[in-house]
Amino acid sequence: MNIEKVMNGYVLIALVIIIVLGRLLSYALTGNLWDSINSFSFYCHILCLVVYICVLISLKKQGKIDGLR
C-alpha cells in the first residue's frame, strides 16, 4: 500500500470530520441549525476542503504524487 495514498486519504477524512464536528458544535451552542450552516466559518472550511482536493488533483496530474488512484 502506498503511503502517499494512505496519508492523503487520512488528511481528507480528518478535514471532513473537523468540518462536521465544527458544525455540530456550532449547532449545539447556538441551537439554530440554519445559522450554523449559513455561516462564514462554514464557507471557509468548505473552501479549504475544495482547495485541498484541487491541489491533490493538480499534483496527481503533474505526476508528483502517486495517490488518488
Is the Cβ–Cβ distance between 69 and 9 less than 8 Å? no
Rg (CA), the chain: 15
Cβ–Cβ < 8 Å for 16, 49: yes
Q: By CB neighbour count within 10 A (0-12 exposed, 13-18 middle, 19+ buried), where does 8 fall?
A: buried
pTM for this structure? 0.73
The string of pLDDT tens digits covering residues 4-44 is: 666 777 888 888 999 999 899 989 998 888 888 888 988 99
CA–CA gap between residue 16 and residue 22 (Å, rounded): 10
